[in-house]
Structure 1
Amino acid sequence: MRFRWWRATVLTAVAALALVYLAGLTRLGEAEAEQLHEVPALAADPTAELAAMREAAPVGGDDPAAALDAALADSETAADLVAAVPTADTGELGAALAALYEAGGGLDPIEVTDFFADLGEEPTAWLAVLYPSVIAEMPGAPFDARMAANQLVLEATTAASASYDSPERPWTDEAARPPRAELDQLIGTDRRFLYLDPYNNAGDGSWIEVVGDLDTAANVAVLVPGGSAVLSSANFDLYYNRAKSFVDASDGELAVVVWAAASWPSGWIEESWASWSQVAAESLASFTFDLRNQIGDDVPLTLAGHSYGGAVIGYAETYDLEGDQVLHIASAGMGNDVYSPEDYTEPCRDRFSITAPGDPISYVQGMPYVPLLGHGADPDDFPGVRNLATGSLPDDPDAVDDYGVSLAEQGISGKTVEGVHSHSEIFYPESDAWNNILKVLLNEEPELADEQPEANDAC
């Protein structure tokens, strides 16, 4: 009798692991089942139909930028626009937009870009205002239009978060419900989103954010965050600050896209499972074609992943993707079941890794293969990878960490980047590690670590 509690505990643990494993298989199955839909073409001039759409909208005028500003100034108008859905009964343009919306992202982003290019810049800008829910999440839609549409999504969602969905009660007559803090802090700022879903991740949200100017930057990087990459986590602002530190130091030479547009794990148990990274990786790989198509072929593109984000970019390399080089930052691994450059579609792509001595991530790097568990080879030992030196933190009295807190006040100025806290310290501005990351993002020659993995002889 005294052993029954032990058996029950073990059975419960095994059942829980089995359920998580099956959930991972389900996520993979859903990802593999997605099929691309045909992007419609317009046979007639949509000018008259677009004018009718504008006439029926709650905003007016002749300038889409002015209409956007007016809608942002009135949360009810923003909410009405976000709720608007195109229908086929307005004409060919409405039918095309409805088809694009119903496709739910299962579209070739390059063909979508061509659709809007044929439509024209000003009509596209109007559609971002008139139907923000259609444009905001559509891969291939012009980035400027998506960022404008997501401003309206942000305004409407923030206002909605402060309202009560239940019927009025005496105790709610004059009660005030604060809006979601992570959304409210963005209102009136210059932060720009290519994707913003406050309801994904069981209500914790997901996003794609642009830091810097994609139109003028000589180099572009995609930064994939580590675990708990959700709007409600401190990581939402943290990775923005990290990206901004690199952009600000580049004198306009760099733009960074923080990519967290998927369901994301939180905590060591969830982060040990590969299924999250595998599903995210497929979406990331698709996004790189959208990004490349819109920034042009001549702009060097770097994919960088921190911690769990390294597992995402690693597995993304098992798909066709756009990217000139890859940077693993204290990365969990090269991707589940990746143990050789030949496991990638591009075995000879330039790859870098940076992991400080004593970083606890080293305990999970290079775990043996188990289906749906672990993240493949250790990036620091992977053939052909160049390891970056981690060095020391800056000893400048004005130096701060990536939260803006003084290093001197913490008593860590000038210390060697190592140990438990090194997992974040490699991002501290002006540290040797931070400088080496910046050099890679700018396609400059970084300082390499003393120990390097074997070369990839095939390259």
Structure 2
Amino acid sequence: MFGLPSSMAGDKDAAKKLEDGLKAALAAHKDGTPQEQAKAVKDYFASLSPEQQAALAATDPSFVGNLDGVPVNVRFAANRISIQKEFDAENAYFKGLAPNDPAYQRTKDRVETLRSFLNPRIKKFIDPKTNRPVEVEVPRQFLVFDAKFGSTADPKASPFADGRVAEVVGDLENAKNVAFRVPGITNRLDNFNSFSDGGFDLTKGKDGIEQPDTAVVSWLGYDTPEIGDSVDPAKAVVGGNQLNAFRQGISVNLQQDAKTSIFAHSYGTLVTSKALQSGLTNIDNVTFMGSPGLGPNIHSVADFHMPNTKFFAMRAPGDPVEYTQGHGDDPADFKDIIRLGTTGAHGHSEYYKPGNESLTNMQRILFGGDHKALTFTHTTLDEEQLGAAEVRELVKFLHERVDPEVVNRMGADLDPIVQGLLNGRSSMKDVALPIHSVLNKYNMLDRVKPQELFGEVSKLAGNLAYKKVYAAAKDKGAPDFVAKIAANSAAAATRGAVGGVTWPVVKLLEFDRLQNNTRQLIGGLWSGGKKMWADGQEITAEVQKDGGRILSDGSQFAGTLFKDGGNIALDAGDTFIHPGHVIDNAGDALKSMDHIKSEFNAKTSDAAHAFLNATNTTIAKGGDMLHTGLSTGNKALHKGKDVLDSALNFAGF
């Protein structure tokens, strides 16, 4: 299928020796860069015959198929073997699932996706001999395939990991123009085709003809976030390093003068930003679309320090992800970026839709850098969609009040709840209380007070009403002062109306806040009190135990003193009566005195040790009690303030 002979494919002994040689080549460059390691692999494969290359691919397809530097046709063949094995295993598992099993639908989607990987696709191109369009079946080309990579988005919906995949369209090793596509959240193996379709559309020129000098890599090579953890940049940092390593490694398989472009979408723009910041510099063009932001430290193209790379941005009207700026400044607003037109695209997911200006502009960038034909836009948020500016202001308001670390942890707690909703296991009624519990866990009603939140909502609603009425009045030909009077009246009426409608909601949330704060105050006092009581009991028990030891040691010493002292007295009396026994009696008296001295030293040491132990316990546990008391008191004061504040707000003060 990929031009490799199969004569040695079953010779495992020969393949084992070849694999040992490959691993030795890698070991020799273990401290090298990804590009240096890939070059060593490429050189090793260049020393092998096609039969030997095929034997390696057949013997360890998972290793060979995902190794940078391996000739791409060998990787395609190896990954084809891995896909077949994975399909067989997962299809067998799927056949054992009942239709009402929670894992049925996503497993079905995944098996069907794997089946599609094994089936050929239709390629349309111009036959160089006849100069006419031709359609042929060709195998799909996978540069990366690892079904066990990454996290499991929702174990109840599917037991399989999200996986990683990279598909190539075109002749990668001979292409003059190469694109790398980077996706955003919720992309997995089971829905990979919806992402890779954009790669097929990107390579097509007029009449659906695939451009002969172009190759596109749809790279799902990192563990994409789901809904909840999309607020956390952690996966973007890891993914950025993986994208950088992949780009450096695959460079040894590309033409030296190939023009390279990255087209990143959504969270993938943050991944790309992290890759560029981690050392990815050999890129000619970068296009960000639907971006939630490129990180808190990127405010302009200049921040990347890549003067030889052209940067483009797209923001389609109605794209809520870009309006939120969840991960930093919107690149479409950078003063030093080239902002491209997106006519025909709307929302967050239509940038690759055929016929849209966004896709056409991407093709102009990719097909030889036809930048003169690019179309541009400079629309404002209000011109794109009324309310977009207000959404951005509301998100900014929330960001100022909630620490990013809290947002990340809360997002992780909310994700399983959201997954249940998305996968049909839960209804809105089912998730209301769990969501409420998570919000209370992070004291969201204290961080974002209901009265302040709805005050901000009321203000923004008034601003939006002003804009709408002003625009409508101007459209009807009203003078500017008349339009402003009408707009101000509408804004005031809207704020009043919103305030009236939200008043019961505010009161309900304020009562909820009061209840939650009171519960936390009582719980904190009870928890602190319990710990102090436990520490006090431990002090009492330790003092009682060590005091008993001191008393026991004293009693034992007193017994020794009485006994040995009596012996000394008897020896003295015997000497008085029998002077001839003086030497023996003196020796016995000395032994008794030594025994008394020895017992005194031993028991005194034991008593001192017991006393010291009791003292240390008292100091340590006393310190713990003091710390617990201070901490509990501090928390009580803080939470008591929240209780008082929420009570006053609920009462209307």
TM over 0.5: yes
- Which deviates more, 118-127 or 348-357? 118-127
CA distance in 1, matches of 2:230, 2:72: 31
Query: Amino acid of the residue matched to residue 303 of structure 1?
Result: I
Please give the alpha-carbon distance, in whole angstroms, between the structure 2 residues aligned to 1:257 and 1:362.
25
**1:352 — aligned with what?**
312
Which letter maps to 1:328?
F
- Distance change >3 Å, CA 228–CA 100, structure 1 → 2: farther
- Equivalent residue, structure 1, for 2:237: 278
Note the C-alpha offset of 1:215. Answer: 3.5
* 134, 143, 149: which one aligns with 1:194: 143
Distance in 1, Cα, partners of 2:253 & 2:360: 28
Is residue 277 of structure 2 the alignment partner of residue 337 of structure 1?
no
- Letter of the aligned partner of 1:385 in structure 2? I
Is 1:352–1:387's contact at 8 Å kept on the other side of the alignment? Answer: yes
**What is aligned with 2:377?**
449
Aligned residues of 1:315 and 1:336 also touching (Cα < 8 A): no
SS in structure 2 of the partner of residue 185 of structure 1: helix
Cα distance, 1:319 vs structure 2: 2.2
Are residues 180 and 106 of structure 1, via their aligned partners in 2, closer, same or farther at CA, if it must alter by over 3 Å? farther
1:433 to 343, 358, 364: 358
Query: Aligned partners of 1:343, 1:437: CA distance in 2, in Å?
Result: 23
Asked if 1:180 corresponds to 2:111, the answer is: yes
- 2:215 match: secondary structure: strand
Answer yes or no: is 1:214 the counterpart of 2:172.
yes
Task: List per-residue Cα deviations over 1:318-360 (Å, max 9, x = no partner).
Answer: 1222211101122222245323445425245210011112210
Provide the C-alpha distance between the structure 2 equivalents of 1:121 and 1:67, rounded to a whole number of angstroms: 10
Instruction: Tell whether 2:5 aligns with 1:65.
Output: yes
CA root-mean-square deviation: 3.2
Identity of aligned residues (%): 28
Structural mapping, 1:112-261, within 5 Å:
112-163=41-92, 180-189=111-120, 190-201=139-150, 202=152, 203-233=161-191, 236-249=192-205, 250-261=210-221
Distance 1:94 1:66, change over 3 A: closer
Partner residue, 2:334 = 382
**What do residues 84-114 of structure 1 show as CA deviations (whole Å, max 9, x unaligned)?**
7999xx65x44333457897x9952233222
Q: Deviations over 1:235-283 (max 9, x none)?
A: x11121111012122532321101111111111x311211111111111
Q: Which residue of 1 aligns with 2:563?
A: none
Shift of 1:120: 5.0
SS of 1:180 mapped into structure 2: helix
TM-score by length of 1: 0.64
SS where residue 425 of structure 1 aligns? coil
Secondary structure in 2 matching 1:448 = coil
2: CA distance, partners of 1:232 / 1:424? 18
In the superposition, relative to structure 1, how do residues 428 and 162 fare at CA in structure 2: closer, same or farther (>3 Å)? Answer: closer
Structure-2 change in CA distance of 1:308 and 1:256 (3 Å): same
For residues 380 and 247 of structure 1, do their structure 2 counterparts lie closer, same or farther at Cα, with a shift above 3 Å needed? same
Instruction: Specify the SS of the correspondent of 2:341.
Output: coil
TM-score (norm 2): 0.46
Please tell me whether the aligned partners of residues 57 and 77 of structure 2 are also in contact (alpha carbons under 8 angstroms): yes
* Letter of the structure 2 residue corresponding to residue 379 of structure 1: P
Q: Structure 2 vs 1, CA of residues 158 and 106 (structure 1 numbering), >3 Å: closer, same or farther?
A: farther
Unaligned residue ranges in structure 1 (runs of 5+): 1-62, 72-76, 166-176, 368-373, 394-416, 453-459
**Which region of structure 1 is more displaced relative to structure 2, 109-118 or 193-202?**
109-118
Does the C-alpha gap of structure 1 residues 198 and 348 become closer, same or farther in structure 2, counting only changes over 3 Å?
A: same
Bigger share in helix? 2
- For residues 166 and 357 of structure 2, what CA distance do their matches in structure 1 show? 28
| 1:152-176 CA-partner distances (Å, limit 9, x unpaired) | 00111111223469xxxxxxxxxxx
CA gap 1:429/1:334 in 2 versus in 1, 3 angstroms: same
Residues of 2 paired with 1:101 and 1:134: CA distance? 12
Residues paired across the two proteins, number: 326
Aligned 8 A contact 1:387 1:451 in 2: no
Structure 1 consecutive aligned stretches of length 4 or more whose deviation exceeds 4 Å: 84-87, 98-103
**Alpha-carbon distance between aligned partners in 1 of 2:200 and 2:330, rounded to the nearest angstrom:** 28
